[in-house]
Amino acid sequence: MKLIGFNLSKVSIEKISDNFKEFKIDTNLNLIDINQIKTDLFKSKEDLLGVRFKYIINYSPNLGKILFEGNILLSLDQKDSKKILKDWKNKKLQEDFKITVFNVILRKCNIKALQLEDEMNFPIHLPLPVLRKESKKDTK
């Protein structure tokens, strides 16, 4: 499987309140649709699959939300492509495929989310590395 393209069709951020004293961050990632893309651009024995997704980072209770919607274009051999499309019709995908696609989405969207969170003064939704002063016990 090869990643041919990734593009966002919708990016939305909404801050409802600045009261981030006690909050919870929930994320939700869903695949909306998977379909075969017909094109004459690629002269290969591989099929192109389009994957539509929606990724939401929700700050509760009712503090704000970040939303990403987009598309991924994948190139797969015909056998794998047919299996994935058949599985999708039955609403059950192979775990390896699902994990790979989710990781691509998370990698791309989380970078953008960090930038948006910084600009809008939202708490960061991912733990970032932090330097700490070495204690005297650690040096012995």
- Counting as low any pLDDT under 50, the low residues of the chain are none
pLDDT at 17: 84
Domain-wise residue ranges, the chain: 2-125
pLDDT above 90: percentage of residues in the chain: 57
pLDDT at 102: 96
Q: Which fold has domain 2-125?
A: Bacterial Protein-export protein SecB (3.10.420)
Secondary structure (DSSP) of 44-97: SSEEEEEEEEEEEEEEETTTEEEEEEEEEEEEEEHHHHHHHHHHHHTT---HHH
In tens, the pLDDT along 70-101 reads 999 999 988 998 999 999 999 889 899 999 99
